[in-house]
Amino acid sequence: VNPPLLGQQPLLQACQRFVLVLGAGALGAAICATAVLVAGTDGQRISPRTVGFGTVPVPPPRPLTGSEGAAVSLLRNAGAAAAALHYRGKKLFASWSEAGGQSVLADVEHVPGRGTWVRVTSAGAGAEHQPSQPERELAADLGAPDPAALAVLASEYTVATAASESYAGREATVVEVGHAGWPGPAGRFWIDSGTGILLRHELYDRAGRQVRVVAFLDLDVDPASAVPDTPMVTASLPGARRASEQADGQISPARLASLRTAGWAVPGALPGGLVLYRAREVTADGSTALQLTYSDGLFTASVFAQRGRLDTGHLPGFSPETVGGVRVYAHEGLYRQLVWPGGDTVYTLVTDSPDEAVARIVPVWPHGPQQGGLLSRVGRGIDRMGSWINPFE
């Protein structure tokens, strides 16, 4: 037996143990770093700046048959009539989703060139007789037809004119909108044969359930206001339209491209055939939000993106829910409103789409922990430390 070796044995064991401890720690750190990196690249959970968004293919425009063209023309004229005529009436708004329903009764008056006034007279969902802001004024000529929306409608749906019906004491032409994969209609529109005003419309989900009704219960049209006999298509004045859009915060394609480069999530289309057709910058409550509006011609969705950390303490009436696997704060009104954080941005979705479509739209956007969370902080730390040892950075 060699005495010096005996003396070195405890030291050797201590060294072995130290190496084991370091190895175990390094292994744990490596596993966690891998998990953080994987979470950062899977499902856009960490930062939208690192993620490129693919766009859902947009179906090409489809040539319309003669009857389809006539039906689309009726819808286009309905929008023009709503903008050009002076009318007032009592209107019913009702909407349903899996989470509940909402119905509102309001007096509506539209004055061409001045605007539309909406005065809520009664409403369900706990706000009965006490609307927080009973009267709202909208900007002028909101009902101006949008050729882009109608073009998308014609490419996504079949449009046909059904038999005429009597509705609210008026003769109405019924336009039926259908979808190839749906068992029933996707929407029905009752258009006043005399004035061209849209008297009533109903929207349905894929299962044939009614999800929205907007209907005049009574309607008075000022006979002095002119009935448009030709479609008032704003596209015929491209210069004027572009100017008004820019004044309204409309974003040019070049600016949109630069926003994409800067890391903003701007999908060109959403699941269900909703295509991006408006992008604006909206200033509200002192902060600026990027508004991206999508439509398939029948249903619409706007996503408002704001840089910052979601303050959940100021979301009255919202409750946490899981939609499409994403934790969101949701409110069910005439529109469905969802708010969730994603990376360094807060997203707000306002939509009238059916539940199954909403469940597919939400996961497309960045979601997950914000910068204030430990995981995102660790992710930033790994990025930063990686840049220290990366000779190419």
Q: Which residues between 244 and 273 bind another protein (CB under 8 A)?
A: none
**Does the protein bind another protein through residue 92 (CB under 8 A)?**
yes
- Work out which of 12, 15, 24, 237 binds another protein, going by CB under 8 A: 24
CB of 264 to another protein, least distance (A): 15
For residue 295 the two structure tokens come to: 């439509």
Contacts of 204 (CB under 8 A, 6+ apart): 182, 184, 185, 186, 187, 210, 211
Quick one: tokens of 303?
């996503």
What is the token pair recorded at 149?
Answer: 């929306």
> Residue 193: which of 295, 310, 61, 78 has the closest Cα?
78
Measured distance CA(114)–CA(142) in Å, rounded: 10
Q: For the CB of residue 53, give the shortest distance to another protein in the complex, in Å.
A: 21
Q: Which 312-371 residues touch another protein, going by CB under 8 A?
A: 313-315, 317-318, 331, 333-335, 337, 339, 344, 346, 348, 350, 352, 370-371
Kindly tell me which of 106 and 266 has the beta carbon lying closer to another protein: 106
Q: Which stretch binds another protein (CB under 8 A): 62-70, 94-102, 260-268, 319-327?
A: 94-102
- Binding-site residue total for another protein (CB under 8 A)? 125
The smaller minimum CB distance to another protein, of residues 84 and 350, is found at 350
Cα 252 from Cα 249, distance rounded (Å): 9
Of residues 44 through 73, those in contact with another protein by CB under 8 A are: none
Can you list the alpha helix ranges (DSSP code H) found in 191-289?
Answer: 238-247, 253-261
* Nearer of residues 123 and 364 to another protein, judged by Cβ: 123
Among 34, 122, 246, 322, binds another protein (CB under 8 A): 122
Site for another protein in 146-165 (CB under 8 A): 146, 148-150, 153
* Structure tokens given for 115: 């605007």
In residues, how long is the chain? 393
Residue closer to another protein, measured from CB, 128 or 229 = 128
Tell me the residue type at 15.
C
Comparison of 18 and 54: residue with beta carbon closer to another protein? 18
How far lies 298's CA from each of 68, 157, 173, 178, in Å? 15, 9, 18, 10
Give the separation between CA 315 and CA 329, rounded to whole angstroms: 8
Cβ-in-10-Å burial (0-12, 13-18, 19+) of 231 comes to middle
Site for another protein in 280-319 (CB under 8 A): 280, 282, 284-285, 287, 289, 291, 293, 295, 297-300, 302, 304, 306-311, 313-315, 317-318
* Min separation Cβ 312 and another protein, Å: 9
